[in-house]
Amino acid sequence: MVAKEVALVMPKMSMTMTEGVFVAWHKAAGDRIRQGDVVCEVTTDKVDMEVEATVDGVLARLVARPEDVIAVGEPIAYVESEADDLLEGLFDAPEASGPVPEEPRAPEPQPVRAAEKRGVAAVPAARRLAAERGVDLAALTPTGPWGTIRVADLPAGRLAKPAPARGRAAVARRMTPSALVPQFVLYRDVDLAGAERARNGASWTAVFVHVLAAALRAHPAFNASWSGDTLVRHEGVAVALAVDTPRGLLAPVLTDPDLCGLDELGSRVADVVSRAKAGKLGLAELSAPATTTVSNLGGLGVGAFQALLTPPQASALAMGAVERKVVPVPDGVGVRLRCSLGLTVDHRVADGADGARLLSTVQELLDGGLV
């Protein structure tokens, strides 16, 4: 059987994924690989993933470079293989007139706007990026099959760094709908003397994830979503934990965090935070439906703040710094360990008095319900 080049393409790793960003190679050109071998690493707006070889063969050509934005289905590399490639030609054929194997197209002598130069064969992502950046496709040297311009053929110096925009785009997609939700915020300073004695080394983030989940279970009307003209109540409690990472804000979901001990929950929280910062979360952890969110900016010196709702969640808890404050006490003034909480609520789901009662339950749990 004659060996031929088989494209290793950007995989589609979620229903909403349209493109990914190439991160790093795990193999080099010329390496012999087997189906299932990890060839490279890519990232989406949600998670980093390893890409495996789909056929046995030799890694013949490396197409992608770090930080290349590659559409789903476009080539990352080519494998010289004797195996059949069911995707051959599906993503890489020239757009204008079909394959022209004999001669690559010569660059035009005069500058032409990329969007107007439809006769140059280019993968869609390269054509889009060239148009955005004013790059003339005809002036580039194609290295793709049949003389096709690929993303890597664009001048490296003119490529924007995609990571920050990618992270902001994900936040924009998730949070813009929040502006359509009528929401109010309640602030309350909670006393942490009892919780300090009971938490046994668990982080304050874990403590508040635990008590918020338990409070929602005690007030099931809050563990709900507004859908159309209907209130939908949820059986389980799932808390999304906002984590600041080098790739932007991520929110892995902890299901039923109040049903395990605080020690176990502390370990779960530390684990997901660590893996979020390392880009090692699974898609299931990021895409699981949450019924509320906990955000903690206390470690960054913030005293109190308002967290936006993430639709369709009906509540969000914002944690300020845990610190000792001078407060009124029965015999005058004293110093107590306190934290300012901001509870954001979907007004279609509950009223202000309901939110106040939820915060009272949070305080009761901190006073004695942790263990």
Q: Span 308-330, mean pLDDT?
A: 95
Q: Span 228-234, mean pLDDT?
A: 92
- Phi, psi (rounded to 5 degrees) for 298: -60, -35
Number of neighbouring beta carbons within 10 Å of residue 305: 15
Is-above-0.75 flag for pTM? no
Residue bearing the bigger pLDDT, 168 or 297: 297
Residue bearing the bigger pLDDT, 250 or 173: 250
177-206: per-residue pLDDT in tens? Answer: 899 999 999 999 999 999 999 998 999 999
How far, in Å, CA of 309 to CA of 293, rounded? 8
The proportion of the chain whose per-residue pLDDT surpasses 70, expressed as a percent, equals 79
Sign of CA dihedral 222, 227, 230, 232: negative
241-283: per-residue pLDDT in tens? Answer: 999 988 788 899 999 999 999 999 999 999 999 999 887 887 7
Q: Which of 202-206, 283-287, 313-317 has the lowest mean pLDDT?
A: 283-287
- Cβ pair 164, 137 in contact under 8 A: no
Q: Which of 210-224, 252-266, 270-284, 339-353 has the lowest mean pLDDT?
A: 270-284
How far, in Å, CA of 97 to CA of 121, rounded? 9
Neighbour-count burial for 3-15, b at 16+ CB within 10 Å, e otherwise? ebbbbbbbeebee
Whether the pLDDT of residue 163 is over 70: the answer is: no
Beta-bridge partners for 326: 335
The helix (H) or strand (E) run that includes residue 296 is strand 292-296
1-55: per-residue pLDDT in tens? Answer: 567 888 899 887 666 677 787 878 888 889 999 888 888 888 766 666 778 888 8
Q: Residue 44: what residue type? A: T
Q: Which of 77-81, 171-175, 239-243 has the lowest mean pLDDT?
A: 171-175
Band (145; pLDDT cuts 50, 70, 90): low
Across the chain, mean pLDDT equals 82
Residue bearing the bigger pLDDT, 35 or 85: 35
- Cβ pair 83, 91 in contact under 8 A: no
Residue bearing the bigger pLDDT, 53 or 317: 317
Band (325; pLDDT cuts 50, 70, 90): very high
Whether the pLDDT of residue 70 is over 80: the answer is: yes
Whether the pLDDT of residue 355 is over 80: the answer is: yes
- Cβ pair 314, 234 in contact under 8 A: no
Whether the pLDDT of residue 113 is over 60: the answer is: no
